[in-house]
């Protein structure tokens, strides 16, 4: 059976059929602008009476028709396509004259839902925002506004029933020691919220983004050894366990080794001994990651009676803290032995790290109930980093937050298509 439109029909009927704007709207004029490769479709409101007030839903008389507005729609073949219409205003006895809602676009936007849905898809899949803007023939600000609306929509729809394991992570933002902090859902690998700064007040605001009932489901929080995060977390989720991130701990230990090496290298070099020259990365990388020739060089100096090799052994011994003990009790014993050995080493930078770890030991031992790290968030962080480089710097924190949640929030971003 031939379909309804297999025979010749008028252009107006054709566009009404494919636009699906509802029986209230008709196509009154179609203009083709050959020069600018553009089509404009003018719409007229069919009904003379009975429009709904957007505030209360009451059926009212038409007060008047507002000024003509335009919406960019999906292209018609090779032509950029816009809809044009004057929207009726309902004469609401309670709310006064109110512009009616239309099915094809959100209030006060210049794009139809279908265009925004396409834009979201292109933004998600293009290599960069610049490239997406180019493909969509839209400007930077427009992309920003579409992403902002998408994120707002996604956050309204998001359900946060349970968040058993979360991570709190900081990241530098712009130059000059400015930071952002993210709260990440470690189970689902998504960013829950982003705030500017990394003070206790900033971390408080981060927790405020999580509804009270959801906070009750948080069992463990991975974080760096940062007092502000700890304080805010203890206030917001007092029953959750804090687990200091093992990668951040190993970073502190590496810094200790590096300080010992730099100092020792200075002392040796003054005596004409340059054994430690150019060895910085050998000590930090982990034996198993060295190439054959690096390994050869490394085994020579590692076995020499150097302070740096002692510091390195201390660092290496700590790696077993996460894997060798059978349980929390043994882990505590392991730590005490390691600590004693480190304090006797007379290596100040290592002792300093050891004292810091001892003071927070209760938040290290939690690893044995909740083996979580910020590694998931580190993965997210590299995504955030690429967002940052793709955007060539941000004018405001607000658009940075939008992009992070757009790309890393796993939100349902698409407009409701009717
Ligand atoms: Zn009303």
Say if residues 120 and 150 touch (Cβ distance below 8 Å). Answer: yes
CA distances from 210 to 156, 213, 285 (A): 13, 8, 38
Instruction: Determine the Cα–Cα distance for residues 307 and 257; give it in Å rounded to an integer.
Output: 9
Mean pLDDT across 332-343: 97
> How long, in residues, is the chain?
418
With a cut of 80, say whether residue 48 has pLDDT above it: no
Instruction: Locate 342 and state its tokens.
Output: 């480190």
CA of 251 to the centre of ligand 1 (A): 61
Give the pLDDT of residue 51.
92
CA of 322 to the centre of ligand 1 (A): 63
Percent of the chain's residues with pLDDT above 90:
72
CA of 228 to the centre of ligand 1 (A): 48
Sign of the four-CA dihedral 57, 59, 62, 65: positive
Ordered by start, the domain boundaries in the chain are 11-110, 246-368
- Give the pLDDT confidence of 386-398 residue by residue, as tens digits: 777 665 555 678 8
CA of 96 to the centre of ligand 1 (A): 7
- Give the pLDDT confidence of 125-164 residue by residue, as tens digits: 998 888 999 999 999 899 999 999 999 999 999 988 899 9
CA of 112 to the centre of ligand 1 (A): 25
Band (2; pLDDT cuts 50, 70, 90): very low
Percent of the chain's residues with pLDDT above 70:
95
CA of 108 to the centre of ligand 1 (A): 18
Give the pLDDT of residue 393.
53
CA of 104 to the centre of ligand 1 (A): 21
Mean pLDDT across 243-260: 95
With a cut of 80, say whether residue 199 has pLDDT above it: yes
Instruction: Determine the Cα–Cα distance for residues 124 and 309; give it in Å rounded to an integer.
Output: 48
Instruction: Locate 78 and state its tokens.
Output: 């090779």
Mean pLDDT across 66-81: 96
Band (208; pLDDT cuts 50, 70, 90): very high
CA of 103 to the centre of ligand 1 (A): 18
pTM: 0.87
Q: Which residue has the tokens 């925002």?
A: 129
CA of 55 to the centre of ligand 1 (A): 5
Mean pLDDT of the chain: 91
CA of 53 to the centre of ligand 1 (A): 5
Residues contacting residue 31 through CB under 8 Å, at least 6 positions apart = 39, 40, 42
CA of 49 to the centre of ligand 1 (A): 15
CA of 278 to the centre of ligand 1 (A): 75
Give the pLDDT of residue 1.
45
Residues contacting residue 166 through CB under 8 Å, at least 6 positions apart = 183, 184, 185, 186, 192, 218, 220, 221, 222
Range with the lowest mean pLDDT among 69-78, 90-99, 369-378?
Answer: 369-378
């Amino acid at each position: 059976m031939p379909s309804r439109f297999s025979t010749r029909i008028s252009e107006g009927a054709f566009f009404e059929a494919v636009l699906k704007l509802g029986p209230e709207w008709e196509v009154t004029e179609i203009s083709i602008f050959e020069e600018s490769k553009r089509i404009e479709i003018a719409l007229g409101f069919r009904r003379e009476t009975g429009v709904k007030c957007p505030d209360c839903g009451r059926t009212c008389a038409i007060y008047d028709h507002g000024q003509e507005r335009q919406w960019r729609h999906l292209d018609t073949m090779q032509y950029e396509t816009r809809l044009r219409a004057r929207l009726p205003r309902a004469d609401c006895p309670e709310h006064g004259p109110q512009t009616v809602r239309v099915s094809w676009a959100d209030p006060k936007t210049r794009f139809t839902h279908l265009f925004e849905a396409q834009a979201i898809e292109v933004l998600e899949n293009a290599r960069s925002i610049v490239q997406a803007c180019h493909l969509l023939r839209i400007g930077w600000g427009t992309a920003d506004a579409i992403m902002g609306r998408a994120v707002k929509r996604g956050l309204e729809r998001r359900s946060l029933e349970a968040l058993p394991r979360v991570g709190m992570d900081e990241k530098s933002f712009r130059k000059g020691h400015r930071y952002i902090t993210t709260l990440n859902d470690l189970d689902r690998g998504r960013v829950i919220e982003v705030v500017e700064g990394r003070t206790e007040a900033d971390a408080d605001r981060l927790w405020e983004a999580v509804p009270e009932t959801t906070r009750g489901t948080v069992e463990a929080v991975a974080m760096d050894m940062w007092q502000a995060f700890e304080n805010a977390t203890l206030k917001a989720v007092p029953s959750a366990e804090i687990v200091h991130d093992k990668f951040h701990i190993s970073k502190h230990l590496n810094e200790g080794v590096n300080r010992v090496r730099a100092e020792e290298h200075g002392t040796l070099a003054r005596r004409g001994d340059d054994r430690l020259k150019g060895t910085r990365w050998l000590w930090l990388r982990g034996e198993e990651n060295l190439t054959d020739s690096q390994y050869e060089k490394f085994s020579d100096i590692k076995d020499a009676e150097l302070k740096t090799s002692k510091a390195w052994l201390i660092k290496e011994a700590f790696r077993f803290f996460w894997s060798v003990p059978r349980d929390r009790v043994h882990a505590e014993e392991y730590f005490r032995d390691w600590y004693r050995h480190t304090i006797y080493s007379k290596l100040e930078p290592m002792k300093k790290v050891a004292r810091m770890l001892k003071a927070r030991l209760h938040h290290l031992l939690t690893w044995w109930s909740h083996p979580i790290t910020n590694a998931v968030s580190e993965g997210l962080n590299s995504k955030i980093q690429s967002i940052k480089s793709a955007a060539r710097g941000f004018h405001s924190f607000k658009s940075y937050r939008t992009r992070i949640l757009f790309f890393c929030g796993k939100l349902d971003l698409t407009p409701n298509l009717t």
